[in-house]
Amino acid sequence: MKQILLATNNKHKVTEIKDIIGKSDYELITLSDLNLEIEVIEDKDTLEGNAIKKAEEVFLHSTIPVLADDTGLFVDAINGEPGVFSSRYAGVNATYNDNCKKLLEVMKDVPEEKRTAYFKTIVCYYKSENSPMIFEGICRGRISNVYRGDKGFGYDPLFIPEGFDKTFAEMSEKEKNFISHRSKAFMNLRDFLFTNLD
């Protein structure tokens, strides 16, 4: 079975990715599985730039293909913030709760009809040097004015996907993974892998 290394230390993300990819001809392994401690500074100004940088740097420490991703929440009423800075919106060492709290504060006077937003995930599949392949997933929705739900992570308690009346954090993992931005990006990758077995 072929192996692919996930370039992340985020346990929530690893679980979600494995659920999305499901059983296949590939074994998804993590940095900890290889006893690798790699912290990549995400200092690019686009999701694509960060995903490629993570994949490249991790690839240098391994001998197998690497998967790296970056995700941002883009809120229309505040000019696309927090965007590429989503994970550190409230500061470099911000917690999920810190980021959500800041977003709610920034949007406290934004009316319901203008609280539209979208999540975007970029996945970089790095199989050989200087050959990144990019896959994208987008999920549109709106920002709640209160925390709702206790599942998921990140901005999930605030994001209500289009066509639903509940946040990601109120959904089961299966329900969320059927419609999420990350799911769409990794399903595009999965389709590519299944048709390019070598």
* CATH number for the domain that contains residue 93: 3.90.950.10
- Tokens 């009423």 sit on residue: 77
* Nearest residue to 69 via CA among 94, 92, 91, 86: 86
Question: Distance between CA 58 and CA 7 in Å, rounded?
Answer: 6
Question: Is 70 marked active-site?
Answer: yes
Question: Distance between CA 148 and CA 2 in Å, rounded?
Answer: 40
Considering the candidates 25, 70, 150, 198, report the single residue annotated as catalytic. Answer: 70
Number of domains in the chain: 1
Handedness of CA 136, 140, 144, 147 (dihedral sign): negative
Domain extent, residue 106, equals: 2-195
Instruction: Give the CA-trace dihedral at 66, 70, 71, 76, to 10 degrees.
Output: -140
Mapped onto helix, strand or coil, the DSSP state of residue 196 is: coil
The C-alpha angle with vertex 117 and arms to 115 and 118, in degrees rounded to 5, equals: 165
Give, for all 198 residues of the chain, the pLDDT tens digit: 788 899 987 777 788 788 877 767 788 888 888 888 888 888 899 999 999 999 999 999 887 899 999 999 999 999 999 999 999 999 988 999 999 999 999 999 999 999 999 999 999 999 988 889 999 999 999 999 999 999 988 999 999 999 999 999 999 988 998 899 999 999 999 888 877 755
Mapped onto helix, strand or coil, the DSSP state of residue 134 is: strand
